[in-house]
Amino acid sequence: MTRTPKAERLRDRPGPWVDLGLTLPIFLTYQIAVVFLGVQNGTDMVTGALLRLSEGDRTTYLLATFAIGVIFAGVFALLGRGQAFHPRKFVQIAIEGAVYAVLMRLVAGYVVVRVFAGTIKDESRFVGFIMSLGAGFYEELTFRVILFGLGAKLLTWLVTKQNIELTTTASPARRFSFMSLSVMSAWAVVCAIVFSAVHYIGPMSDSFALPSFSFRFVLGLVLTLIFVTRGFAAAVWTHALYDVWVLVFR
């Protein structure tokens, strides 16, 4: 009797390279389409650089984007060897993201309504589907992987001298001690505050309101929990599908 590959089981978190590869459709769709919109996500670190390198030529930009996609897929295939993967993981992670998006909306809405005894006004759709994908990929990369992930590793090492691993497939209970969990929880709160606050900065920002700030703060905490327990891809798909739901269909 053969054992089912670990990363193919529904309950298991994908390995780090499979996790990254599962975000490829969102990344490529956004990068190909955003150049025609005239706007881009505030945390997008790639589009502006590619346009400058392409000297504003869209054809060159698109070729460069496809090249990045090929490199992306090549790295995924090469470094992901030995990590079980099946194409159905794309379907699983999309369904999982949709479920988390609905639960995230319900949880955040419940918390804020209990605090403010009111309702949350739905954000206007100013960019739509493509910008939702960009927010899902780049905001999760910025706030969950870089800000929270690297920050948690550094703070945990400074406080506990423990070198934590956020990308392994092991469960959080096996990865983190009580002290490291305490440090990470405190840092998660700080990162959620920053995540919420940046939505009120810049030319496309919203007017500050405490209910919407609190709502986004709770969303930041939930996305961090998804990132730690289910991985980067699950957080990206959840964030992107949530934004599509709010900005496009609602």
The pLDDT, as a whole number, for residue 110 is 65
Local structure of 166: helix, strand or coil: coil
Widest Cα–Cα separation across the chain? 60
What is the per-residue pLDDT across 185-228, written as a single tens digit (0 to 9) for each? 999 999 999 999 998 887 667 788 888 899 899 999 999 999 99
The pLDDT, as a whole number, for residue 118 is 44
Q: What is the mean pLDDT of each run of 10 residues along the chain (250 residues)?
A: 47 71 89 84 86 88 88 68 63 86 79 53 58 90 94 90 71 72 93 93 78 91 92 93 80
Q: Does residue 187 sit within a domain?
A: yes
Q: Does residue 82 sit within a domain?
A: yes
Number of domains in the chain: 1
The pLDDT, as a whole number, for residue 245 is 84
Q: What are phi and psi of 106, to 5 degrees?
A: -65, -45
Q: How many CA atoms lie within 13 A of 224 on its CB side?
A: 29
Amino acid at 120: I
Q: Does residue 134 sit within a domain?
A: yes
Q: Does residue 138 sit within a domain?
A: yes
Amino acid at 33: A
The pLDDT, as a whole number, for residue 77 is 64
Tell me 42's DSSP state. T
What is the per-residue pLDDT across 153-165, written as a single tens digit (0 to 9) for each? 999 999 888 887 7
The pLDDT, as a whole number, for residue 115 is 57
Other Cβ atoms less than 10 A from the Cβ of 163: the count is: 9
Q: Does residue 1 sit within a domain?
A: no
- What's the domain range around 134? 6-249
The pLDDT, as a whole number, for residue 203 is 67
How far CA 166 is from CA of 63, 133, 229, in Å, comes to 34, 24, 9
CA distance 98 to 100: 5
The pLDDT, as a whole number, for residue 108 is 76
